[in-house]
């Protein structure tokens, strides 16, 4: 394939389960009506929940779902390549490609795929972002020396995502103090000193200029390049303290991360403990009661993430999001014909036991 003069920039957005990637991307789409975007969403689950949440901006967004949580590997790798091929022939119709990886994925597979001869002439990696659930980070949820196997595995994935990130986005920070934000920054810097920039996402919002068009892997990348940092409170508005190790973090060549593919495959091939399943119900739900039940299930069983759509009384429809035992809902567009559905993701979590817990606590039948 003859290389094109112009290469379409690609931004990869990763982050552990429940970090807020979809919410942040939805906010970003709402701020970029001046751009036409192609968005590829990869989920660890049987069906797409994030896709419908992102599809509310219909104008200027081309949405593609790739299910399975193993983006760019095996069968899902074929699906990802087919999607890229479909976009290749229509690159003139959009300005930028955004790829949201699943919460259990490391972006290396996508990076290597973009570097393949088939795609390298048409696409260029703009930047890799990792979205951080800051309260969970501060609470020690990603400690490598945690006592249980699920927490240790989560820490492995989280640290690998940070390792391959150019930009770390501290999310869910609205209720945090400046001291807590500085502690979170220090923790990220300690875990991943090669991260180039840290950004703060108040209200899950980022300035598109700090997110798209960074060109951190293009020919114009140079030593000392710094992304503009603005709008940060007080001491946090100052430049990051130490950029001395940043120039060697060159994902574009991938030379610094020759172990990347085996690392990424390890999480899925050698740690089958991460599982997901889909439950549905045809009955109208008592939403507050359902929230309490999901919260209790997450406390009793190793469930780290729950997401889906439920119908409440009066014809209302809600998007349900849970990270561990933190559960919330938001209004969703009404779809009377759609069933209630919830995706549970956990570590060695038993579908049978979760169903039994729901049946014991709720009059509605879930299966």
Question: Is a pLDDT exceeding 60 seen at residue 240?
Answer: no
Mean pLDDT of all residues in 345-357: 93
Reported as a single tens digit per residue, the pLDDT across 293-339 is: 999 999 999 998 898 899 999 889 998 989 888 898 988 888 877 88
Q: Is residue 2 part of a domain?
A: no
Question: Is a pLDDT exceeding 80 seen at residue 150?
Answer: yes
Q: Is residue 62 part of a domain?
A: yes
Integer Cα distance of 87 and 9 in angstroms:
12
Specify the pLDDT at position 58: 52
Mean of pLDDT over the chain: 79
Specify the pLDDT at position 60: 66
Do 102 and 185 lie in one domain? The reply is yes
Q: Is residue 3 part of a domain?
A: no
Specify the pLDDT at position 83: 87
Range from 28-37, 246-255, 278-287 carrying the lowest mean pLDDT = 246-255
Q: Give the CATH number for residue 202.
A: 3.40.50.300
Q: Give the CATH number for residue 339.
A: 3.30.1220.10
Can you tell me which residue has the tokens 């399975």? 68
Check the CA dihedral 72-75-80-86 and report its sign: positive
Do 224 and 280 lie in one domain? The reply is no
Do 342 and 217 lie in one domain? The reply is no
Do 236 and 253 lie in one domain? The reply is yes
Mean pLDDT of all residues in 332-350: 87
Specify the pLDDT at position 226: 38
pLDDT band at 68 (very low <50, low <70, confident <90, very high): low
Nearby residues of 159 by Cβ (< 8 Å), 6 or more positions away: 142, 144, 191, 192
Please compute, for residue 78, the number of CA atoms within 13 A of its CA located in the half-sphere on the CB side.
2
- Token pair for 335: 């779809």
Reported as a single tens digit per residue, the pLDDT across 181-239 is: 999 999 999 999 999 999 999 988 888 888 899 999 864 343 333 333 233 333 333 33
Question: Is a pLDDT exceeding 90 seen at residue 355?
Answer: yes
Q: Is residue 139 part of a domain?
A: yes
Specify the pLDDT at position 144: 85
Alpha helices in the chain (DSSP H): 21-30, 50-54, 74-88, 108-114, 117-120, 134-138, 149-163, 178-191, 260-269, 287-300, 351-361
Query: Domain boundary at 269, 292, 326, which?
Result: 269
Specify the pLDDT at position 123: 95
**Percent of the chain beyond pLDDT 70?**
76
Query: Domain boundary at 269, 290, 310, which?
Result: 269
- If 0-12 CB within 10 Å is exposed, 13-18 middle and 19+ buried, where does residue 262 land? exposed
Specify the pLDDT at position 207: 86
Specify the pLDDT at position 42: 81
Do 143 and 259 lie in one domain? The reply is yes
pLDDT band at 89 (very low <50, low <70, confident <90, very high): confident
Question: Is a pLDDT exceeding 60 seen at residue 71?
Answer: no
Q: Answer whether 198's CB lies under 8 Å from 185's CB.
A: yes
pLDDT band at 112 (very low <50, low <70, confident <90, very high): confident
Do 145 and 286 lie in one domain? The reply is no
Q: Answer whether 62's CB lies under 8 Å from 94's CB.
A: yes
Q: Give the orientation angle of helix 149-163 with respect to helix 260-269, to 10 degrees.
A: 150
Specify the pLDDT at position 67: 65
Do 348 and 280 lie in one domain? The reply is yes
Q: Is residue 347 part of a domain?
A: yes
φ/ψ (deg, to 5) at 187: -65, -45
Q: Is residue 105 part of a domain?
A: yes
Do 209 and 291 lie in one domain? The reply is no
Rounded-to-10 torsion of CA 187, 303, 17, 66: 160
Q: Answer whether 178's CB lies under 8 Å from 236's CB.
A: yes
Question: How many structural domains are present in the chain?
Answer: 2
DSSP annotation of 236? G
Q: Answer whether 164's CB lies under 8 Å from 106's CB.
A: yes
Question: Is a pLDDT exceeding 90 seen at residue 133?
Answer: yes
Q: Which domain holds residue 302?
A: 274-361
Query: Domain boundary at 212, 240, 269, which?
Result: 269
Specify the pLDDT at position 47: 46
Integer Cα distance of 86 and 84 in angstroms:
5
Do 253 and 288 lie in one domain? The reply is no
Integer Cα distance of 98 and 365 in angstroms:
38
DSSP-based helix, strand, coil % in the chain, nearest 5? 35, 25, 40
Q: Answer whether 324's CB lies under 8 Å from 18's CB.
A: yes
Q: Is residue 258 part of a domain?
A: yes
Question: Is a pLDDT exceeding 70 seen at residue 250?
Answer: no
φ/ψ (deg, to 5) at 277: -150, 160
Q: Is residue 199 part of a domain?
A: yes
Mean pLDDT of all residues in 53-71: 61
Do 265 and 279 lie in one domain? The reply is no
Do 212 and 317 lie in one domain? The reply is no
Query: What does pTM read for this prediction?
Result: 0.78
pLDDT band at 149 (very low <50, low <70, confident <90, very high): confident
Do 87 and 39 lie in one domain? The reply is yes
């Amino acid at each position: 394939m003859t290389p094109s003069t112009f290469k379409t920039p690609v931004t990869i957005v990763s982050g552990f389960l429940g970090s807020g990637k979809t919410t942040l991307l939805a906010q970003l789409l709402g701020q970029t009506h001046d751009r036409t975007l192609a968005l590829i969403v990869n989920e660890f689950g049987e069906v797409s929940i994030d896709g419908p949440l992102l599809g509310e901006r219909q104008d200027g967004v081309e949405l593609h779902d790739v299910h399975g949580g193993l983006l760019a590997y095996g069968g899902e790798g074929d699906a990802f390549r087919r999607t890229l091929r479909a976009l290749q022939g229509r690159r003139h119709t959009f300005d930028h490609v955004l790829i949201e990886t699943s919460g259990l994925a490391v972006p290396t597979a996508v990076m290597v795929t973009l570097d393949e001869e088939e795609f390298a002439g048409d696409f260029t990696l703009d930047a890799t972002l990792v979205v951080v659930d800051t309260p969970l980070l501060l609470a020690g949820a990603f400690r490598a020396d945690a006592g249980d196997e699920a927490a240790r595995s989560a820490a492995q994935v989280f640290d690998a995502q940070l390792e391959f990130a150019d930009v770390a986005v501290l999310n869910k920070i609205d209720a945090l103090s400046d001291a807590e934000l500085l502690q979170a920054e220090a923790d990220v810097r300690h875990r991943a000193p090669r991260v180039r920039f840290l950004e703060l996402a108040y209200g899950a919002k980022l300035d598109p200029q700090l997110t798209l068009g960074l060109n951190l892997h293009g020919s114009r990348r140079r030593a000392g390049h710094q992304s503009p940092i603005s709008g940060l409170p007080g001491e946090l508005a100052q430049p990051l303290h130490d950029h001395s190790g940043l120039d060697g973090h060159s994902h574009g060549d991938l030379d610094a991360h020759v172990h990347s593919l085996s690392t990424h495959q390890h999480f899925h091939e050698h740690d089958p403990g991460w599982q997901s399943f889909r439950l549905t119900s045809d009955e109208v739900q008592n939403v507050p009661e359902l929230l309490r039940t999901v919260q209790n299930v997450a406390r009793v069983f190793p469930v780290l993430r729950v997401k889906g759509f439920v119908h409440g009384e009066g014809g209302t429809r809600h998007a349900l999001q849970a990270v561990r035992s933190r559960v919330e809902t938001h209004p969703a567009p009404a779809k009377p014909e759609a069933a209630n559905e919830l995706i549970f993701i956990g570590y060695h979590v038993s579908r049978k036991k979760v169903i039994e817990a729901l049946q014991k606590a709720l009059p509605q039948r879930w299966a």
